[in-house]
Amino acid sequence: MTDSLFTPFSLRETTVPNRIMLSPMCQYSAEEGMPNEWHRVHLGTRAVGGAGVVMTEATGVERRGRITPGCLGIWSDEQAEALEPITAFVRSQGALPAIQLAHAGRKASHAPPSEGGHALPIDHDEGWETISATDEPYPDEEPAATRRMDADDVADVVDAFAAAAERSLSAGFEIAEVHAAHGYLLHQFLSPVTNDRDDEYGGSFENRTRLVREVVEAVRGVWPDDKPVFVRISATDWLPDRNSWDVDDSVRLAPLLAEAGADLIDVSGGGIHPDQQLPNSGPGYQVPYAEAIREGTDVPVAAVGGITEPTHADALVRNGRADLVALGREMLRHPYWPLEAAHELGAEIEWPVQYRRGRFE
């Protein structure tokens, strides 16, 4: 029987009730990394709306790893405790709570988009020094100071991801995702655009992929055997005119991530440099990247990028192009998209008892 958008999907001993995942979307609403009522309602609403996986925004494993001062964090036990009621509610609605563990590297210390998105230098009230594979800051009008990471820094980052995963487990999350995409720290090590090192973490493909493999191994080492670990990658830098990370590199990386303990690759693209050459961003414009990884490696994938129509999302699963379908902006616009999609596709889905009067006839 052909899998569809509303067919359950099992990874290890964890079953996702359907193939719809809320893609991580920054909310810029935390203070010192602490979740609040906004996060509870934002994530809880998507669980009520029928998503199979409800994933947090990029959640900093270190204070200096946040993209902006308003980004969520899990570098303290207090943050983990504050997330517990949120994960409990998401589970109560039949969805799986997931967390994206992240470190922004040289793209940290930025203002939120609503305030211009510019870099916040160290002498700014809310700015801080950033760290990266390189000492070249992210290109900006007034870039934040960036320090090249030494061996101790690398070890600290690996430990921070592991500690954050342990806190995530105590907070009730069922899935941990390692963020290695969109030009953030782990992507900065992967891409030759930003990795100019000559040590064991730079130069060759093996060396440039070493840190992300070590992070995945560290997260897998503290995550239960019955629960999945995802990794989000940028399949390409979208910089074809220079030496950069591309889809062939991603196909080569995927089985190494699986060997390190990843159960699914969440496939996105771009973010390493503002000169990126975006493809025609029509419906499903990034799906071919996920499909290439799935076909080239047999590792399960999530597809993302301009997916808005239920029939399109369903076809991606039915045709074996993706195992999960991640919706970001569409789920911001339509938090009950899964309920409406089930109606359009003629699929049975359990509505919250409080909302059953609103079911389609």
Q: Is residue 86 part of a domain?
A: yes
**Structurally, how many domains does the chain consist of?**
1
Backbone phi, psi, residue 318, to 5°: -60, -35
Q: Is residue 139 part of a domain?
A: yes
Q: Is residue 2 part of a domain?
A: no
The per-residue pLDDT for 140 is: 84
Angle, alpha carbons 254-255-258 (nearest 5°):
95
Could you tell me the CATH number of the domain that includes residue 191? 3.20.20.70
Q: Is residue 4 part of a domain?
A: no
State the catalytic residue, choosing from 138, 184, 201, 289: 184
The per-residue pLDDT for 1 is: 65
Alpha helices in the chain (DSSP H): 37-48, 77-92, 151-170, 185-190, 205-208, 210-222, 247-260, 287-297, 310-318, 329-333, 337-345
Q: Is residue 360 part of a domain?
A: no
Query: Residue 41 contacts by C-beta under 8 Å, 6 or more apart in sequence?
Result: none
Domain that holds residue 54: 9-355
Pick from 228, 227, 245: nearest CA to 236: 245
Q: Is residue 267 part of a domain?
A: yes
Active site residue 184: yes
Which residues, given as ranges, of the chain have pLDDT below 50? none
The per-residue pLDDT for 142 is: 79
